[in-house]
Amino acid sequence: MLAIAFLFCVFSGRFLYVQLFWREELLSRALDQWTREIPVTPERGKIFDRNGELLAGNETAYSVYARANAVTDPEGAANVLSALLNVPREEIEEKLSDRSHSEITLLKQGEKSQVLPIEGSGLTGIYYARDNKRVYPYGALASQVLGFTAMGAEGTTGIERYYDDFLKGKSGEILYETDLVGSEIEGTSASYIPAVGGLNLKLTLDYRIQALAEEVMGRVLASSSAKAARCIVLDPQDFGVLAMVNLPSYDLNDPPRDDMETLNRLSRNCLVSDIYEPGSTFKIITAAADLEEFRKGNPAAFSPQYVFPSSRTRSVDGTTIKCWSDHKNGKHSNQTLAEALNNSCNPCFVDIALSLGKETFYSYLSAFGFGKATGVDFSGEAVGMLIPEGSVRDCDLARIGFGQTIALSPLQLACAAASAVNGGYYYTPHILEEVFSDDGYVAVKTGKKLAARTVSEETSRLLSSMLEGVVRDGSGKHAYIEGYRVAGKTGTAQKYENGTIAQGKYVSSFVGYFPANEPRYLALIIVDEPQGSYYGSTVAAPCAKEIFEGIIGFTGLPAQGGAL
Residue 178 in this model has a pLDDT that exceeds 80: no
Residue 148 lies in a domain: yes
Q: What is the pLDDT of residue 179?
A: 55
pLDDT value, residue 562: 46
Domain contains 382: yes
Q: pLDDT tens for residues 421-461?
A: 999 999 999 999 999 999 999 999 998 999 999 999 999 99
Q: Measured between alpha carbons, how far is 103 from 128 in angstroms, rounded to an integer?
A: 12
Whether 481 is in a domain gets the answer: yes
Q: Would 242 be classed as within a structural domain? A: yes
Q: What is the DSSP string of 286-330?
A: HHHHHHHHHHTT-TTSPPTT--BPP-SEEEETTEEEE-SS-SGGG
213 vs 1: CA distance, rounded Å: 89
Q: What is the pLDDT of residue 374?
A: 97
Shared domain for 218 and 297, answered yes or no, is: yes
Annotated catalytic residue within 63, 143, 249, 280:
280
Assess whether 120 and 221 both reside in one domain: no
Based on the residue annotation, tell me whether 280 is a catalytic residue of this protein.
yes
423 and 362, same domain (yes or no):
yes
Whether 259 and 155 map to the same domain: the answer is no
Nearest residue to 188 via CA among 177, 196, 203: 177
**Least confident range of 366-370, 469-473, 557-561:** 557-561
| pLDDT (0 to 100) of residue 564 | 36
Q: Are residues 170 and 211 in the same domain?
A: no
Mean pLDDT of 258-283: 95
Q: Which domain holds residue 377?
A: 207-555
Question: How many CB atoms within 10 Å of residue 176?
Answer: 18
- Whether 534 is covered by a domain: the verdict is yes
**101-122 pLDDT, tens per residue?**
667 888 887 888 877 888 777 7
User: Which residue did the predictor score with more confidence, 301 or 176?
Assistant: 301
Query: 464-482: b or e for each residue (b if 16 or more CB lie within 10 Å)?
Result: bbbbbbbbbebbbbbbbbe
329 confidence band (pLDDT: 50, 70, 90): low
Cβ(271)–Cβ(243) below 8 Å:
no
Same domain for 50 and 151, yes or no, is yes
Residue 129 has pLDDT above 90, yes or no: no
Percent of the chain scoring above 70 in pLDDT:
91
Lowest mean pLDDT among 262-271, 326-335, 433-442, 543-552: 326-335
- 387 and 440 co-located in one domain: yes
pLDDT over threshold 60, residue 33 = no
- Domain end, chosen from 203, 238, 271, is at 203
Amino acid at 453: R
Per-residue pLDDT, 36 = 60
206 - beta bridge partners?
Answer: none
Each residue's pLDDT tens digit, 362-409: 999 999 999 999 999 999 999 999 999 999 999 999 999 999 999 999
For residue 258, pLDDT beyond 50: yes
Q: Looking at residue 513, which CATH number applies to its domain?
A: 3.40.710.10
Q: How confident is the model at residue 172 (pLDDT cuts 50, 70, 90)?
A: confident
Cβ proximity of 201 and 435 under 8 Å: yes
pLDDT tens string 493-502: 988 877 777 8
379-255-132 Cα angle (round to 5): 85
More confidently predicted of 422 and 41: 422
pLDDT tens for residues 201-251?
A: 999 999 999 999 999 999 999 999 999 999 999 999 999 999 999 999 999
Q: What is the pLDDT of residue 468?
A: 97
Return the pLDDT at 193: 81
Q: Does position 185 have pLDDT exceeding 60, yes or no?
A: no
Query: Which CATH number does the domain housing residue 153 bear?
Result: 3.90.1310.10
Q: How many secondary structure helices (H) and strands (E) does the chain include?
A: 19, 19
Is the domain of 156 the same as that of 211? no
For a pLDDT cut of 90, what percent of the chain falls above it? 65
What is the DSSP code (8-state) at residue 438?
T
Give the count of domains, the chain: 2
Same domain? 115 vs 257: no
Which contiguous run of DSSP H or E holds residue 391?
none
Across the chain, mean pLDDT equals 89
For residues 470-474, average pLDDT: 95
Q: Please indicate, yes or no, whether residues 122 and 260 belong to a single structural domain of this protein.
A: no
Q: Judge whether residue 278 has pLDDT over 80.
A: yes
Q: Are residues 403 and 528 in the same domain?
A: yes
DSSP 491-520: EEEEEEETTEEEEEEEEEEEEEEE-TTS--
Same domain, 141 and 246: no
- pLDDT for 338 beyond 70: yes
Does the pLDDT at position 166 exceed 60? Answer: yes
Tell me, what's the pLDDT at 39?
72
Q: Which of 28-32, 123-127, 268-272 has the lowest mean pLDDT?
A: 28-32
Does residue 250 belong to any structural domain of this protein? yes
Q: Reduced to 3 states, what is the DSSP secondary structure of residue 53?
A: coil
Query: Does a structural domain hold residue 21?
Result: no
pLDDT band at 34 (very low <50, low <70, confident <90, very high): low
**Predicted pLDDT of residue 50:** 97
DSSP letter at 408 equals B
- In a domain, residue 12? The reply is no
